[in-house]
Amino acid sequence: MTHPSLQGAQGAITDVAGIEVGHYTETRRPTGCSVVIARDGAVGGVDVRGAAPGTRETELLHPSNFVERVHAVMLSGGSAWGLDAASGAARWLEEQGVGFDIGVGRLPLVPAAVLFDLHVGDARVRPDAAAGYAACAAATRTHPAEGCVGAGTGATVGKLFGMQYAMKSGIGTASLRVDGITVGALVACNAVGDVVDPDTGRPLAGARTEDGTQLRDMRRALLRGELPGALLGGSNTTIGVIATDAVLTKPQAQRLAVVGHDGLARAINPVHTQMDGDTLFALATGAAGRTPDLVVLATMAAEAVARATVRAALAARSITTAEGLHLPGYAG
């Protein structure tokens, strides 16, 4: 079975001029990190909607704060330990001469967000500074790999009724171009909810029935009175980056991150729960040289996020951990 979101040219966040993406995929257990680099700097914004986030340097992106441009965003597995990957990215960027000029050198600014994948394999293995450095060293302008790579390596979806009924997810990307402006997104989907088709609401990946052969349809299951299982708070989260070549101010970049969550709401149900730390960053490189109509730009951002989220689930392949946990993936 092939979903339309895996057919044809869907684009990638690297279609945005000035953006590179690199993955590091851990081989000892399913985890990893992914970095989005803007070597020349990009005006940044962020919006955190989930109630259990794990982030670094998000306050510097507030519109009232001094710093205008950042140089990379790190997305990582490993929960709070995974934030260390951003330190490795900062070291790599410094070696490349990338960063904010502080007179005595250049200081790379690398906001980050993490997802919780510690229940998939040996939790003692998680991304560190060396992993973040390696992700940067692997960064290119080509279409990034999708599925069980980078920050999506240990991602899962549909966990509300227990991990034994969940499915494998991953990381996905998409882009759109309208009137000479490009918007792209990179999303690592580790949601407690189902991933659904944004056009029909039909579940694509998520909580399975007790015999494991069908999707339960979490929204309808909850509404008919099925009770969630006992879950550790914060053990989920969808994180991602929206990038555009439009010229934006810092408040406009923050607004782009805000409206990007509309795309998550179209593609994940339920979303933004107390068990998720859903966080989206926005980067504006300004390479297009102009500012488009902001309603159009917002519509593009939400659509890119929705498409990237769907691709994160549909590109994921099945895994069985050493501990015997089997997680089927849409891609087989």
Q: What pTM value is reported for the model?
A: 0.96
* Continuous H helices in the chain: 85-95, 129-137, 218-223, 250-267, 294-314
Q: Which pLDDT score is estimated for 9?
A: 54
pLDDT of residue 225: 95
Domains of the chain plus CATH, in order, are: 4-327 (3.60.70.12)
**pLDDT score at 4:** 56
Give the residues of the chain that fall short of pLDDT 70.
1-9, 232-234
Q: 3-class secondary structure for 59-120? A: HHHCCCCCCCEEEEEEEECCHHHHHHHHHHHHHHHHHCCCCEECCCCEECCCCEEECCCCCC
188 exposure class (CB count in 10 Å sphere: 0-12, 13-18, 19+): buried
pLDDT of residue 236: 87
